[in-house]
Structures are given as structure tokens and as C-alpha cells.
């Protein structure tokens, strides 16, 4: 089993006849999925998604893959294959197309409709190639075959990429629900045919590799939803991903059965469900869907709201309802259903929302107390079955944290994949497929790129460290005016604290210390502002640490007159 090493160097030039696979996101994390395929001097990209920030990334809206590795070769990209329409697979496409809007997008009907709507907001009209399961398309030197897979969104596809170096199969996100709502099964016969041809490398979804057994069918949720509807006396508010068409279809079916009207809340939810309905993926009975403005005219017992915010996103509709920052006010007796899983890292945010909703009197139904969610990813039993069908010569687990990648690797080895043919990589690690063997050859830059408002990439790890210090410890500013000729103090020091828990009056002892040190420094001929600032920061910081055991940010402001 090969694995990355901290000292991996820059990969060598790609050998003639070899295929290079470089994940720029999606390994060691849940989200930001993006994989670069290189053959000759041409590039194919599979997925281009975002990662959502965690608590230690304050102020960040989205996290993108780092495009540095391909930035000077954007004209060499023959296309971006999108396996399905979830944000962690398509969310970064607008940011890449900003740099080169001529890159073609390849995907299924629903996937392309979702990304085209997103790109319209960025005023980008992409080149698109619509494909369906069974299709086979030549994209530059890459011969791509598309296979139906079942996931928590319709129209998901796996892709088999053939080059003279061999065949690589990327599953995308998938599971093997045998009773899917839309009747669209993961096409195991198609994978078996690829196995007969010879699957040189399998990139497999590892998200649920630690979960034993098989994932329950999506349709099992309907009983729990009907139970919620049967026992709710007032409004029902359902929070889900804005692209989870199957889940929302079941909510609509339950609402129809209990004669309730439904309103979609949140821009992405309204947009995506409109697309799904127009394309026939979402079946809406009669005139059941109403505009949110009509809700005031309806009794609470006849209302269902479907909104975003199931992951505790601070600006999503449900979070704002919990914070009393939304036009829809949670009242005693409302029922809120969180119809999704907890993405790792989001737990605290979700529980904050649950507590906020409960505070206002809502009954909150979630995965922990009712069967209102099943996963969209294959668990260990399904993966064993899948590996035995595919018989890959080399295996590279993707789409998961380290524990998931390891678990998927162990499952592959158990089914007969040679241990030395299993590659556990991480973002930026280059894997070359040559003469039937996949091996790690180097590593390229693949760090986080932060989106904060309209800025992309301007926020650094140092910036986030400063934000965390400000959020946890506050800051202390010290204002000093000095004579530019002799360095003596002519005003201040004036000290103020914000968020540090220290009253301004408490700084009287250290003010005298600062004055003495600054006078001594001026007498020694230290006149440069930067040196004076460092002196203020050192004395003030040490005093706070010694007396309060805190490390706030110290902001010395020195002005010359």
C-alpha cells in the first residue's frame, strides 16, 4: 500500500504513454472534489467543487481547490466532466471559468441545468455537452464512457476514462439503492463489462467505507415523514440540501397526502426546485406549491416550508429563523425537520441551530431521533460487492477523510486487490498510471483558496490566525505620539481594549512602564517607528500575559509630529 510522504518533491515530467492523475481536492476532506487527468499535454478535469468552512475559518464563505497547478495550462483543458450536481462537485466551476470561460462542461441534463443557472449569476455562458448513461464521447485524447449511478440527486454518473495508458474509472458519489425513487439503479452490469475489459485504476467514493452493511433505501424515509405530518398541529419546516430532489419529492408527496400547501424558501432552493420541476425530475401534484408571500393567508396547519440550512450555514434560511433574523418567525408548536446528515465539521453549527429553534418552541426532528435521512454514499457491504464486480488492478480511494480512505483501501485488499496496488494519496499528490501500475511520483501545490465576500484567494492562513485571535482574545490598541526629531513622547500612551475582558482603567500601571521604556529608548537614539512599535507590543503583551494569562492582539499605533 503506497501512501504520501511529507518530503515528496515536484513530480518529474510525464512520460510518453503514461497517464497522470492529480486530485486537487476531495482527499482527506468531505468536499472540494476535483481531479486532474493528464495525457500528453492535454488535460481532463473530473468535478470542480467547493468545501464549506468550519469554525476555525471565521468569515470564510467557501473554500476552493487551488488552481495553481493548471493555471498556466488552462488552454490545454479539453473539458470538465461533472459527475452530479451537488455543490461539493460543481460549486467551484464559476471560479475556474472566470479564468477561462471557453472550457467545455460535460454532464447529464440535470447537472448541466444546475451549473448553467449558477453560471448565469456570474454572467458566464458555458460550452456544454450533455451526456447520459451509456454514452461514449471522445474528449481530446480521453475516451470517456458514462455509467449510471444512484446517489442522493438524480442523473448522477460515473465515468470511465480510456487512454493508451489504460482505463481509469471514477465513480463520483454513489450508492447501490435497490429501490430508488426514480427507478434508476447503479448500473452494475456496465461496471462488470468494464471489469471484463480490464479496469486498470478505480477511483472509488470512500465516504461511508467505515459504515457496516448496506444503506437503507431512500423510500424508507417516507414512513417517518408521514408520522411527522400526522402529528404536527402547526407549520412544518423541512431543511434540506437545495439539490436533494429525491428527499424533497417525498416531502411533497407527504404534503399532498395531508392536504398541505408547500412554499420553497431560499434563493438556491427556489432556483433548483424550479429547474428540477421544469425538467421533470420533481413531480409536483396539482397547485400545491405556493409563493412564500401567500403563507399569511393560510392556516398554520395547512403549511409546509422547504428551506436551506440543514448544515447550520449562518446565512441560510433555517439559521436565520433560529436567530430571529428572517421574515418567517418560529413559534411555539412549529415542527422543524432536518432531512440530512451532519457533514463532519458542521456538528457545532447544526446543534446551535437546533437549540435556537427549540428555544422558540419548535419541535426539531433530525437523524438522531427519527429516520428522516439515509446516506447517498455506499457503505462497506456495498463497496465489497462493488469491488468484487469491478476487480480493479489498482485502487485509489477518493472522496473522504483519512479514516474513510484507509477503510476503503482495507476493503479493496480484502477482495483481492494486491496491497502494493492500493494507493492512498492526498490532495496534490500525483499518481502516474504506467504499464498497468499506479504509483505516486510527486506532489504539487493544492492548498485551500478562501472566498470571503467578493475576494478570492486574498485571505491567507495568517489572516485566519489573526481572526481567531481577535475572536477568542480580542485586541488592545496603544496610541503614542512622538517627536520626529528626538523620539520623545508628546502624546499618550493611550490604551484601549476591545473583546479582551480587560477594563481600560486597568492599564494605568503599564502606561507608566511604557512611558519610562519609550523615554529610555529615545535617549538611546531609537527613532524608527517600526522599532518603537515593537517595543510597545513587547512590553504591553508581556504585561497582559503576566497579569491576565491572555494573549490578545496588540496594535501599537505610533505617530510622528
- Return d(Cα 70, Cα 498) in angstroms, integer: 44
The closest alpha carbon to 453, from 7, 32, 53, 13, belongs to: 53
- Return d(Cα 220, Cα 321) in angstroms, integer: 29
For 467, phi then psi, to 5°, come to -65, -40
- Return d(Cα 535, Cα 523) in angstroms, integer: 14
Confirm whether residue 376 is marked as ligand binding: yes
CB-based contact 19:432 (threshold 8 Å): yes
499 grid coordinates: 473583546
Confirm whether residue 213 is marked as ligand binding: no
Residue with grid cell 399532498, as numbered in its chain:
256
The closest alpha carbon to 363, from 237, 527, 472, 482, belongs to: 237
CB-based contact 60:433 (threshold 8 Å): no
Confirm whether residue 244 is marked as ligand binding: no
- Return d(Cα 298, Cα 310) in angstroms, integer: 25
241 grid coordinates: 440540501
Structural element, H or E, at residue 130: strand 128-130
Measured CA distances, 160 to 78, 84, 385 (Å): 16, 15, 19
The angle at the Cα of 55, spanning 50 to 60, to the nearest 5 degrees, equals 45
3-state secondary structure 54-91: CCCCCCCCEEECCCHHHHCCHHHEEEEECCCCCHHHHC
CA dihedral 287, 293, 297, 299 (to 10 degrees): 80
CB-based contact 47:34 (threshold 8 Å): yes
CB-based contact 500:474 (threshold 8 Å): yes
- Return d(Cα 493, Cα 511) in angstroms, integer: 6
Binding residues: 373-377
Binding residues for substrate: 373-377
Amino acid at each position: 500500500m503506497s501512501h504520501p510522504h511529507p518530503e515528496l518533491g515536484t513530480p518529474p515530467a510525464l512520460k510518453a504513454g503514461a497517464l497522470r492523475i492529480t486530485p486537487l481536492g476531495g482527499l482527506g476532506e468531505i468536499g472540494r472534489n476535483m481531479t486532474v487527468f493528464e495525457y500528453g499535454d492535454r488535460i481532463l478535469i473530473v468535478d470542480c467543487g467547493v468545501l464549506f468552512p468550519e469554525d476555525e475559518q471565521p468569515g470564510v464563505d467557501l473554500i476552493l481547490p487551488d488552481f495553481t497547478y493548471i493555471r498556466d495550462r488552462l488552454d490545454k483543458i479539453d473539458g470538465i466532466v461533472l459527475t452530479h450536481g451537488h455543490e461539493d462537485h460543481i460549486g467551484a466551476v464559476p471560479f475556474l471559468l472566470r479564468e477561462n470561460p471557453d472550457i467545455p462542461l460535460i454532464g447529464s441534463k440535470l447537472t448541466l441545468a444546475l451549473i448553467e443557472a449558477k453560471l448565469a449569476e456570474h454572467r458566464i455562458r458555458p460550452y456544454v455537452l450533455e451526456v447520459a448513461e451509456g454514452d461514449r464521447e471522445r474528449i481530446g485524447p480521453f475516451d470517456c464512457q458514462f455509467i449510471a449511478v444512484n446517489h442522493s440527486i438524480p442523473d448522477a454518473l460515473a465515468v470511465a476514462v480510456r487512454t493508451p495508458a489504460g482505463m481509469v474509472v471514477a465513480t463520483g458519489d454513489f450508492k447501490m439503492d435497490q429501490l430508488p425513487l426514480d427507478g434508476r439503479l447503479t448500473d452494475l452490469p456496465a461496471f462488470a463489462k468494464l471489469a471484463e475489459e480490464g479496469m486498470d485504476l478505480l477511483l472509488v467514493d470512500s465516504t461511508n467505507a467505515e459504515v457496516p452493511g448496506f444503506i437503507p433505501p431512500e423510500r424508507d424515509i417516507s414512513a417517518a415523514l408521514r408520522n411527522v405530518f400526522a402529528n404536527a398541529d402547526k407549520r412544518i419546516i423541512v431543511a434540506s440540501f437545495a439539490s436533494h430532489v429525491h428527499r424533497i419529492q417525498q416531502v411533497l408527496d407527504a404534503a399532498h397526502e395531508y392536504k398541505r400547501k408547500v412554499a420553497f424558501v431560499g434563493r438556491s432552493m427556489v432556483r433548483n426546485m424550479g429547474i428540477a420541476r421544469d425538467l421533470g425530475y420533481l413531480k409536483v401534484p396539482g397547485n400545491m406549491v405556493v409563493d412564500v408571500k401567500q403563507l399569511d393567508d393560510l392556516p398554520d396547519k395547512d403549511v409546509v416550508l422547504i428551506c436551506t440550512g440543514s448544515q447550520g450555514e449562518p446565512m441560510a434560511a433555517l439559521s436565520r429563523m433560529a436567530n430571529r433574523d428572517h421574515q418567517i418567525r418560529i413559534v411555539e408548536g412549529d415542527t422543524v425537520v432536518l432531512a440530512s446528515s451532519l457533514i463532519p465539521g458542521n456538528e457545532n453549527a447544526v446543534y446551535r441551530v437546533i437549540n435556537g429553534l427549540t428555544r422558540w418552541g419548535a419541535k426539531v426532528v433530525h437523524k438522531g431521533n427519527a429516520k428522516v435521512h439515509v446516506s447517498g454514499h455506499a457503505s462497506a457491504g456495498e463497496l465489497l460487492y462493488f469491488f468484487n464486480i469491478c476487480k480493479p488492478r489498482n485502487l485509489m480511494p477518493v472522496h473522504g477523510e483519512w479514516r474513510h480512505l484507509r477503510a476503503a483501501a482495507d476493503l479493496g485488499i480484502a477482495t483481492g486487490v494486491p496491497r502494493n496496488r492500493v494507493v492512498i494519496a492526498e490532495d496534490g499528490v500525483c499518481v502516474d498510471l504506467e504499464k498497468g501500475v499506479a504509483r505516486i511520483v510527486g506532489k504539487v501545490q493544492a492548498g485551500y483558496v478562501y472566498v470571503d465576500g467578493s475576494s478570492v484567494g486574498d485571505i491567507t492562513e495568517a489572516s485566519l490566525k489573526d481572526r481567531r485571535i481577535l475572536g477568542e482574545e480580542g485586541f488592545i490598541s496603544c496610541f503614542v505620539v512622538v517627536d520626529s526629531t528626538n523620539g520623545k513622547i508628546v502624546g499618550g500612551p493611550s490604551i484601549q481594549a476591545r473583546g479582551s475582558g480587560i477594563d481600560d482603567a486597568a492599564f494605568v500601571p503599564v502606561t507608566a512602564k511604557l512611558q519610562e521604556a519609550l523615554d529610555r529608548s529615545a535617549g538611546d537614539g531609537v527613532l524608527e517607528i517600526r522599532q518603537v512599535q515593537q517595543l510597545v507590543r513587547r512590553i504591553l503583551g508581556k504585561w497582559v500575559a503576566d497579569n491576565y494569562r491572555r494573549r490578545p492582539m496588540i496594535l501599537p499605533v505610533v505617530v510622528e509630529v
